[in-house]
Amino acid sequence: MRAIAEFIMRGRMQATLVVAAAAALPLLFWLSAAASALVLLRRGMQDAVTIVVWAVLPALAWWYFAEPRTLLVLLGTLSLAQLLRRTQSWVAVLLASVPLGLLFALVLGEQFQESIARLAQELNTLMQQQMGEILQQWPEAERARMDSLVVPVLTGLMAALLQLLSLLSLMLARYWQAALYNPGGFAGEFHALRLSPLPAFGLLLALLLVPNVAPQLAMLVPLCTVPLALAGVALLHGLVAQKRLAGFWLVGLYVSLLLFLQLIYPLLMVLAIVDSLFDFRGRQRHKPDDAANGEG
């Protein structure tokens, strides 16, 4: 992966080739977003625009064929990269990803309205088959409320995936930047990532209360889980590095996440919330002297 970063930063023509080709090819739009973010982080918005425009063109072509994800992830990653470049704060980036995900949800809900409605109908039918007797015991108003939440939650899940892809693309770009100009800088940033109590409990309250305010706001529930889960992953990475544990602990984490997603994902969120109160990595954690951007 370092070789790709070196090729991107070799010159304007090489960077343009990577971002445009990756945006044009199916399933490689995340690479285009990461390459564009690398240029922005290192060179700034003014230099990045002349390169990113060549990624926007194939992304618009994909949108014409009813595939908006390429453009959404590209622009979402760039907006988060600009925020990171200005604030040098991963916490700010994680929190900003929530309204970004909401924007994704609105676009996806409009673009795939019929497909989401069909999927929601199939899920409702499946729930009736699997839980028919239990659902019959619920009050009519409660069943109607449950049915009204399916479409917003499905839309939120789709948007949360793009939200996560935007964050991961930015992390890849930051890793590339550190590898080229400040080795180990991204690891220090990621290991130190921790939500303070206010945003952590704010996200938790949004998870618990927002669906009761209005059914359409239920799309925020999956979006609010992403910052908490990533903060939980950062906590475990930081603890493994701090304790100098073997790397297989992290391998075990990701294998468990793939195999037991429904169990491990909420656990990561709980760890992030508890860590916001107790700071397991130490309240006097040393702040890295060098930023990962390598500009100084």
Instruction: Quick: pLDDT tens for 139-183.
Output: 777 777 788 899 999 999 999 999 999 999 999 999 999 999 999
Taking 70 as the threshold, does the pLDDT of residue 220 lie above it?
Answer: yes
Among residues 252, 207, 178, the alpha carbon closest in space to that of 2 is found at 178
Most confident of 42-46, 97-101, 114-118: 97-101
What pLDDT, on the 0 to 100 scale, is given for residue 284?
Answer: 45
Average pLDDT over residues 241-246: 88
Percent of the chain with pLDDT over 90: 77
What pLDDT, on the 0 to 100 scale, is given for residue 264?
Answer: 96
Percent of the chain with pLDDT over 70: 94
Average pLDDT over residues 58-74: 95
Assign 296 a pLDDT band (cuts: 50, 70, 90): very low
